[in-house]
Amino acid sequence: MCGIAGKLLFDCDGRVSRDQIEAMLRPIAHRGPDGQGIHLDGCVGLGHCRLSIIDLSTGDQPMANEDETVWIVFNGEIYNYLALREQLLAKGHQFKTQSDTEVIIHAYEEYGFDCLRHLRGMFAFAIWDHKNRRLFVARDRVGIKPLYYCQTPGVLYFASELKAIIADPAVSREISAPALRQFFSFFYLPGEDTLFRSVRKLLPGHYLLVEGGKVTRHRYWDLQFTHERWGRSFEDVVEELYGLLGSTVRDHMIADVPVGVLLSGGVDSSAVLSFAVQGTEKKVKTFTVGFDGDQVVDERPYARMAAQRFGTEHYDLSITAEDFWNFLPSYVWHMEEPVCEPPAVALYYVSKFARQYVKVLLSGEGGDEAFAGYPNYPNMLRLDGIRRALGPVARPVGAVAALAGALLGDGRVRRYGDALGRPLADVYFSRTSSPTTFFNRSARRFFTPEFLAASSSSSAANSMADLLRPAAGWPLLDQMLYADTKTWLPDDLLIKADKITMANSLELRVPLLDHVVMEFAASLPSEYKVRGKDTKRALKAAFAKALPQEILNRKKAGFPVPYGGWLSHDFAAGVRETLLSDRARNRGYFEPQEVNRLLDSHCQSGQFPKEIFSLLVVELWHRQFVDSDNSLTKSGVA
């Protein structure tokens, strides 16, 4: 696990300097405190900061092949590298190290761009092919590792984090109003856009080629819902799944440094732990975080239950409202993109604590997206059943239901009533948004006319419709899982998982998002995942005997962070001061009186925590990344 950065000049006579690459590496040094390396070859410069996990003594980067004509900088882990290494040795390749990095180099020499199909793991890398004067930049299938790039008329930049790219003063920091509007629809930024017009995310399952000044983007993988296992019994599928997860977790335990498990008290992380304890002779360390207070759902008792079941060395901690507030500027700095993900603050504190004991953590992230664990899945399936039963009258019935929900003040009735008779893309919005959410419903009065005009090309519904086009004709559950896997998962959850743990120089591994596991889950019929109100059926059945029943049968709680109350009571004055400051007003995005009204409403009802948190994140983001006020990370919010 590391940080990578690089710069390529399209003018072959140009030269990239060491100072330029050092400047890119400086803001991402936390990703790799164990070493730094730079390779310069005229018009190209590659930079790497290393967090040593495998082959501690000889795995330094940038790394080259035998004759130093192929160079790589790599962030991630290749879990099948030992098997690949044996295959490549049999084909005559010679190795200088025991690292997974060198396996990628030789796989590229042997298979070309198809080397990606041979890699099983999480990765973002760049290969400079000196002979062919070609740059090959790739990101893993699911998007576990981030990768940003910026193309100008004469230069291509790439990096693990956005701030490494904008470290070059030549990169424009012009804001994309449509992207900002998308954020307020989704509460994160789906797809390849960032808030800077000039910087983009390389999509999961894609690679870039740069040759002769031409940049092309290619997709090498997409999740397909094939239903190969339609004819197999539920019991046979469960048995196969158990074996697959066991081998996958064992592969994810490979490291030359201590490995622990991040416990949430849910099925997914407990399932990962059940195999992790089998993959080592040492006592596994487990970690969890919670919040104190009468109104808070505390995950820690369930995490302790799992830790006791599997005999781990368990640690837990709690964070306070003050911890949350003090970390917000740093949260924005490390996340880089505006994301409404308050649990990331808790993740920061628990990973900081865990870093005292381990260098690698396993997590259960992704189980809900792979095996259908969220309650919205059965809810939408039930609505779809009603819609099909009503046929042509679904639309007027939906309008009546939505109206009733509005009159009764019941957001769930309004939201689900609105769904009847409308296309999935119009209402689903990757799980987190819909036309009935505040920023979409109140756009014309909340945003300024100037901002609405500048962002008029933005449409969350159109974005989702484009995304769902490859899934046309699939069963409804598959469409929802596909949408979440392409948006919410990489652009919210995995950004949080990578950047917040790497802020503490800690590697987080996610076995349930191994692409082979994802493909297995996608091959299952819908009823093997959801039946009635039951979610994650196959996964829960696989661990029915291994996990405590209290964990298997508990209601889905997510990770409940009580930030709404903190923002409306503990830090209401600081929130108001920040959002109604002259700086915030002068950005011209919002009508100040509407912001004030929203704050008043939240203080009275506690109804708008996401909206308040998102506004706060956007303002702090502008201060750090546009105003360059990095003192915020040291001095607090207000």
- Residues 103 and 37 occupy one common structural domain: yes
**Residue 70 counted as domain residue:** yes
- Residues 463 and 591 occupy one common structural domain: no
**Structural domain boundaries, residue 361:** 234-372+487-552
**Residue 229 counted as domain residue:** no
Three-state DSSP class for residue 32 = coil
Highest mean pLDDT among 27-41, 112-126, 365-379, 554-568: 112-126
Q: How many folded domains does the chain comprise?
A: 4
Would you say residue 189 has pLDDT above 70?
yes
C-alpha dist (Å) from residue 372 to 96, 163, 367, 536, 620? 44, 34, 8, 5, 34
* Predicted pLDDT at 60: 87
Would you say residue 387 has pLDDT above 80?
no
**Residue 354 counted as domain residue:** yes
**Whether 522 contacts 486, CB under 8 Å:** no
| Residues near 395 by beta carbon (within 8 Å), at least 6 away in sequence | 420, 421, 422
**Residue 557 counted as domain residue:** no
Length of the chain: 638
**Whether 342 contacts 488, CB under 8 Å:** no
* Predicted pLDDT at 559: 65
User: Which of the pair, 22 or 570, is modelled with greater confidence?
Assistant: 22
Q: Which range, of 305-309, 553-557, 631-635, averages the lowest pLDDT?
A: 631-635
What's the CATH code of the domain at 333? 3.40.50.620
Q: ω into residue 562 within 30 of 0, thus cis?
A: no
Last residue of a domain, one of 485, 511, 534: 485
Contacts 24+ apart (CB under 8 A), 353-356: 353/287, 353/289, 353/315, 353/317, 354/260, 354/262, 354/285, 354/287, 354/315, 354/504, 354/506, 355/504, 355/505, 355/506
- Residues 194 and 339 occupy one common structural domain: no
Would you say residue 637 has pLDDT above 60?
no
Mind giving me the DSSP string for 140-197? -SS--S--EEEE-SSEEEEESSHHHHTTSTTS---B-HHHHHHHHHHSS--TTB-SBT
Side by side, which strands form the sheet with 2-9? 35-41, 44-50, 2-9, 155-159, 148-151, 199-201
Last residue of a domain, one of 485, 511, 531: 485
- Residues 543 and 577 occupy one common structural domain: no
Would you say residue 403 has pLDDT above 80?
no
For residue 439, give the nearest of 606, 587, 613, 637 by alpha carbon.
613
pLDDT band (50, 70, 90) for residue 524: very high
- Residues 571 and 432 occupy one common structural domain: no
**Residue 617 counted as domain residue:** yes
* Predicted pLDDT at 52: 77
- Residues 140 and 105 occupy one common structural domain: yes
| Residues near 531 by beta carbon (within 8 Å), at least 6 away in sequence | 537
User: Which of the pair, 275 or 379, is modelled with greater confidence?
Assistant: 275
- Residues 446 and 584 occupy one common structural domain: no
**Whether 632 contacts 329, CB under 8 Å:** yes
| Mean confidence (pLDDT) of the chain | 89
- Residues 382 and 499 occupy one common structural domain: no
Would you say residue 222 has pLDDT above 90?
yes
- Tell me: the pLDDT tens digits for 488-504? 999 999 999 999 999 99
- Residues 597 and 547 occupy one common structural domain: no
Side-chain-facing half-sphere of 7: CA atoms under 13 Å: 29
- Residues 256 and 355 occupy one common structural domain: yes
- Tell me: the pLDDT tens digits for 1-34? 689 999 999 988 889 999 999 999 999 999 998 8
Query: What helix, strand, coil percent values describe the chain, rounded to 5?
Result: 50, 15, 35
CA-CA-CA-CA dihedral for 612, 616, 622, 624, to nearest 10: -160
- Residues 367 and 430 occupy one common structural domain: no
What is the Rg, in whole angstroms, of the alpha carbon atoms belonging to the chain? 24
Would you say residue 434 has pLDDT above 70?
no
**Residue 531 counted as domain residue:** yes
Backbone CA torsion sign across 160, 166, 172, 173: positive
Last residue of a domain, one of 495, 525, 552: 552
**Residue 228 counted as domain residue:** no
- Tell me: the pLDDT tens digits for 436-449? 678 888 889 999 99
- Residues 356 and 450 occupy one common structural domain: no
Structure tokens at 338: 């505006």
Would you say residue 408 has pLDDT above 50?
no
pLDDT band (50, 70, 90) for residue 638: very low
Active site residues: 2
Q: Which range, of 150-159, 426-435, 506-515, 521-530, averages the lowest pLDDT?
A: 426-435
**Residue 239 counted as domain residue:** yes
